[in-house]
Amino acid sequence: MTPARLCRDILAFLHRAGRDTSGVTAMLFAICAVPVLLVVGAGVDFSRVSAARTAAQSAADAAALAAASSKLDVEAAMRLVADNHANANLRETNASGSKITEFAYNGTTREVRLKITGSVKSTFMALAGWQTLPYEAEAKAVRGLNGTTELVLVLDNTWSMAGDKLVALKAAAEDLVVQLRQDPNADVKIGVVPYADYVNVGVNNRNSGWVDVPADYSTTSARTCTTLTTRQTCTRGAARTCTRVVDGRSETYDCTPSTCTTQTVPPYESCSGGNTTWYRWYGCVGSRRAANLRLNDTTPSERYPGYLATSQNCLNPIVPLTSNQATVISAIRGMVVNIGGYRPSTYIPAGLIWGVNVLSPTAPFSEGAAYDPTNRRPRKVMVLMTDGENTLVFRSADGRHIAPSGNATAQAAQLKQTYDDMNDICTYAKSKQIEVFTVAFDITDTTAISAMRNCASSSAHYFDAKDRQGLADAFKAIALSLQNVRITQ
């Protein structure tokens, strides 16, 4: 029973008893006024606490989202982001003066958790001994993919990537895959397109309707023998080392001169030939030759030319979109930049068009979902990485990618066409709502830098990585950009 109800009951009893209640009423009013005022005052104080708690909850939600949305993964740095947002949102509110008292980031679950605490100075409740009334607000936010995501990694595997560069690329790419696959409920598929002068579509696709590969064959030269009476003898001079550039990478080689003389010797027989040479398909394809089909994924019936060779002349095969993380990581770890004496050069359009093909819903690969004009169902993403400029050009006669020829002016014009093709493929990809990230790794050529920047979907989608750490940071930032943040509490 409330104090007010008790006072009313006492007065009603005295009235029924026929007693003069005027003096009693005054006394009872004085007695009952205190608890009544306390009840009313408590309501006012608790209303102020409720308003402060509401303001604190809004600030906590905003701070958790800000920390989780930042491109940071160090708890101390994320805490600073949260503090700044909380302070800004709490200023001039009912919860002014409160602050974050607990903050934690779980790198495994990618969850941010924080608590804001504060108190309101009481007015009426102070009469009952409560000088302040505390409140708190908690918030949790998690990073994760939302909806279906299809991602293709278009990675430079040319000779200039040899050594530490390839090691850095493998680590950065694997880290991106692991970050995107941390959420077991994430609906994400990832493909890999290693590229150099050509791409390898996989020998298992030899009989597919989108590639035209001639039959393997062999040739055997006739064996011939000749009687000779002279022999050449050579003597090496002083040791000498020269430098040459292969795919933008300087390397040294032995260029020691030799002095040769021809001497008369007793007759002997010298034979040559009689060897068998095999020409096989190792999965290499060039560009489509009809019209401008090398620049888009339309008309799937127009086939890609497959080339035979006497040895491996293209590198790791493409991995179509898959949700199997182990398959993707295995492909990344297995990337190489040369096989035997093959040292591949750079033709970025080849990687780009096959990046589109991997995401495309039509042949050559069919793992990609239909294009969505809003890029939401699914979200299609391409990450293009290169460490240098284009060094090859398209030959329309057979679809091959060859070194430019002629004088310097002619070669520059031919390479400009390669960059124009690169730009056209990027433009086509973006017209299909494919989100394009580009990563320039230790590039100094201004034309190549400009091409990579223009290829990206926006300035925020372009990364200029100067060293190994920069490359790792770029791939980490891309992973964070793809992850949506949501409040979970």
Angstrom CA distances, 95 to 101, 372, 403, 478, stand at: 14, 45, 69, 36
Band of the pLDDT at 450, cuts 50, 70, 90? Answer: very high
Three-state secondary structure string covering 257-285: CEEEEEEEEEEEEEEECCCEEEEEEEEEE
Supply the pLDDT for residue 110.
Answer: 76
Least-confidence region, from 98-112, 118-132, 255-269: 118-132
Give the SS3 label for residue 410.
Answer: helix
pLDDT tens digits for range 88-114? 888 888 877 889 999 999 877 778 999
Provide CATH 3.40.50.410 ranges for the chain.
148-217+278-484
pLDDT over 80 at 41, yes or no: no
pLDDT tens digits for range 49-95? 888 889 888 888 888 888 887 777 788 999 999 999 889 888 888 87
Supply the pLDDT for residue 48.
Answer: 80
Strand partners, 306: 285
The overall average pLDDT reported for the chain is 87
What is the C-alpha separation between 466 and 474, in angstroms, rounded? 10
Band of the pLDDT at 23, cuts 50, 70, 90? Answer: low
The predicted model gives 19-23 an average pLDDT of 52
Enter the CATH code of domain 148-217+278-484: 3.40.50.410
Q: How far is CA 193 from the centre of its chain?
A: 14
Q: What percentage of the chain reaches a pLDDT higher than 70?
A: 85
Q: Is the peptide bond before 317 cis (omega within 30 degrees of 0)?
A: no
Question: Which is more confident, 77 or 424?
Answer: 424
Supply the pLDDT for residue 255.
Answer: 84
Angstrom CA distances, 168 to 193, 411, 469, stand at: 17, 32, 8
Nearest to 388 by CA among 231, 157, 225, 178: 157
| Cα separation of the two ends of the chain | 38
What is the C-alpha separation between 387 and 465, in angstroms, rounded? 9
Nearest to 181 by CA among 439, 477, 483: 483
pLDDT over 60 at 2, yes or no: no
Nearest to 104 by CA among 69, 71, 139: 139
Supply the pLDDT for residue 366.
Answer: 87
Give the SS3 label for residue 319.
Answer: strand
Calculate Rg over the CA atoms of the chain: 37
The pTM of this model reads 0.75
Supply the pLDDT for residue 282.
Answer: 96
What is the C-alpha separation between 469 and 252, in angstroms, rounded? 27
